[in-house]
Structure 1
């Protein structure tokens, strides 16, 4: 089955569901597979992981423990100057 036909078939089946437990499972699977980007090593990052990382960084920032760099420090790290 081609991708577009498969999408339509799955969407129609989901729309006909009334089982909340099964709908929740489908939602969880889609959330886990929702890749929104990649990290520095090329590993996929899900929406959930991204939000978790942001919350962690904000917490560290508020606590004063977040490691940050000035523009010059970043430039030196990238360019080696």
Structure 2
């Protein structure tokens, strides 16, 4: 079945749905596909694609501003742990 036929089949099924909760779930699923979860942080919280892009851009900005530590600095810092 080609993509257009699949779309028409889904439209027909959506038109027959009488349960608002199911329609809400379909809507949320479609919204999530625009910004999918790409990973999780150490606490188990989802990280979306856009969150990841934002964090990378923030890290690049900090690096360009000189806001980082070298390996040597981290080694010295870890000696006090």
TM-score (norm 2): 0.47
Larger Rg: 2
